């Protein structure tokens, strides 16, 4: 290759080399297409069907029908329910705000206490599976992140079922109304591809730990949590711990919470910077003009 052509090629390679640009995505769950006051919980007969992934991220769900006790689920459901007044299990799909974040319609509902946590009750507490999820720290709601996705933030609030149970008790004397020393803690753990813990983000869904009664609260608004410390995670695992526990079966208050506006970023398709492209073309023009002038010079001398 002649020197001038080599220079032009090198300039194009340098300036047209891809530049990675981060793309931010906020999952609002509105694209699921739920009708008003409805939900999907993994029931194969539900419409729309439970999604395999949302914006590339996979939300776990286990739905079973027990011949004696009927249907049950854990992991994730998605809802447009608006009932923030009715207590009890039959209202498990409503957020305490009566809707999604920022006045939106659709949101996610997580139930972290499933069969994995229950089945691990007989394991030694130091067993890796018990550390992952157990009755005293049920953590059976997960999000497997899309390839290359990095979590940024997520909005959290209580469900009506859990909020009213913590405020008033369950009416059966099993779960008691929260008082001094009580709490309900949500933790979000990030794990990398090798299963190693990247970090943890904690958030109190209810906090009655202070000596000052005026500081006690049960969350009843949407709160945005910063997840940037979990960069490098390929999976997020959501768990709940509580001050009220059964000696065998662990957490007593409903292990639910609601989510919305899950924001993450990915490395977008690499493209050349426009300014670099302009400079490259300018450089090509200059080099090309110089080459033509030298060619003319050589013809005159010859």
Q: Using one digit for the tens of pLDDT, what is the confidence trace for 220-242?
A: 999 999 999 999 999 999 999 99
Predicted confidence (pLDDT) at residue 294 exceeds the cutoff of 80: no
Are residues 192 and 51 located together in one domain of the fold? Answer: yes
Are residues 214 and 76 located together in one domain of the fold? Answer: yes
Are residues 297 and 180 located together in one domain of the fold? Answer: no
Predicted confidence (pLDDT) at residue 288 exceeds the cutoff of 80: no
Residue 61 to residue 77: CA distance in whole angstroms: 7
Predicted confidence (pLDDT) at residue 2 exceeds the cutoff of 90: no
Per-residue confidence at 267, pLDDT binned at 50, 70, 90? confident
Distances (CA, A) of 202 to 108, 233, 287: 19, 16, 59
Q: How many domains does the chain have?
A: 2
Per-residue confidence at 22, pLDDT binned at 50, 70, 90? low
What pLDDT is stored for residue 62 in this prediction? Answer: 98
DSSP-derived pairing of the beta strands 70-79 and 250-251 = unpaired
Are residues 10 and 104 located together in one domain of the fold? Answer: no
CA 145 to chain centroid, in Å, comes to 8
Are residues 27 and 71 located together in one domain of the fold? Answer: yes
Are residues 213 and 127 located together in one domain of the fold? Answer: yes
**SS3 of 205, please?**
strand
71-75, 94-98, 275-279: which has the minimum mean pLDDT?
275-279
What pLDDT is stored for residue 268 in this prediction? Answer: 63
CATH number, residue 133: 2.60.120.1350
The more confident residue out of 184 and 282 is: 184
Are residues 240 and 114 located together in one domain of the fold? Answer: yes
Which stretches within 112-236 are classed as H helix? 115-119, 128-132, 160-168
Token pair for 85 = 């007044």
Are residues 285 and 236 located together in one domain of the fold? Answer: no
Are residues 247 and 286 located together in one domain of the fold? Answer: no
The more confident residue out of 16 and 89 is: 89
Domain enclosing residue 289, as ranges: 3-18+274-301
Burial category of 140 from C-beta neighbours within 10 Å (exposed 0-12, middle 13-18, buried 19 and up): buried
Average pLDDT over residues 125-154: 98
Predicted confidence (pLDDT) at residue 117 exceeds the cutoff of 60: yes
What pLDDT is stored for residue 110 in this prediction? Answer: 99
What pLDDT is stored for residue 275 in this prediction? Answer: 43
Residue 300's φ and ψ, nearest 5 degrees, are -65, -45
Are residues 297 and 245 located together in one domain of the fold? Answer: no
Among the listed residues 142, 89, 87, 84, the one whose alpha carbon sits nearest the alpha carbon of residue 112: 142
Name the average pLDDT for the chain: 87
Are residues 196 and 249 located together in one domain of the fold? Answer: yes
**SS3 of 90, please?**
helix
Are residues 224 and 282 located together in one domain of the fold? Answer: no
Average pLDDT over residues 104-130: 97
């Amino acid at each position: 290759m002649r020197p001038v052509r080599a220079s032009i090629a090198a300039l194009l390679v340098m300036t047209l080399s891809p530049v990675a640009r981060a793309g931010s995505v906020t999952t609002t769950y509105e694209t699921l297409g739920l009708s008003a006051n409805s939900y999907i919980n993994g029931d194969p007969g539900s419409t729309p069907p439970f999604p395999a992934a949302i914006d590339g991220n996979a939300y776990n769900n286990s739905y079973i029908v027990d011949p004696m006790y009927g249907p049950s689920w854990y992991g994730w459901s998605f809802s447009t329910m608006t009932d923030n007044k009715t207590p009890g299990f039959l209202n498990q799909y409503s957020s305490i705000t009566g809707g999604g974040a920022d006045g939106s319609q659709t949101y996610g509902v997580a139930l972290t206490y499933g069969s994995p946590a229950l089945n691990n009750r007989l394991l030694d507490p130091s067993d890796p599976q018990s550390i992952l999820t157990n009755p005293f720290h049920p953590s059976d709601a997960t999000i497997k992140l899309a390839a290359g996705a990095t979590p940024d933030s997520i909005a959290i609030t209580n469900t009506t079922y859990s909020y009213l149970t913590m405020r008033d008790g369950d009416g059966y004397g099993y779960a008691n109304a929260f008082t001094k020393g009580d709490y309900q803690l949500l933790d979000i753990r990030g794990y990398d591809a090798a299963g190693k813990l990247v970090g943890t983000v904690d958030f109190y869904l209810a906090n009655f730990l202070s000596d000052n009664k005026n500081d006690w609260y049960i969350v009843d608004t949407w709160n945005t949590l910063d997840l940037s410390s979990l960069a490098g995670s390929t999976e997020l695992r959501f768990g709940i711990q509580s001050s009220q526990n059964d000696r065998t079966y662990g957490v007593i208050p409903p292990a639910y919470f609601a989510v919305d506006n899950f924001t993450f970023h990915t490395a977008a398709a690499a493209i050349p910077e426009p300014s670099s492209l302009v400079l490259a073309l300018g450089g090509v023009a200059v080099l090309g003009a110089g080459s033509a002038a030298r060619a003319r010079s050589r013809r005159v001398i010859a």
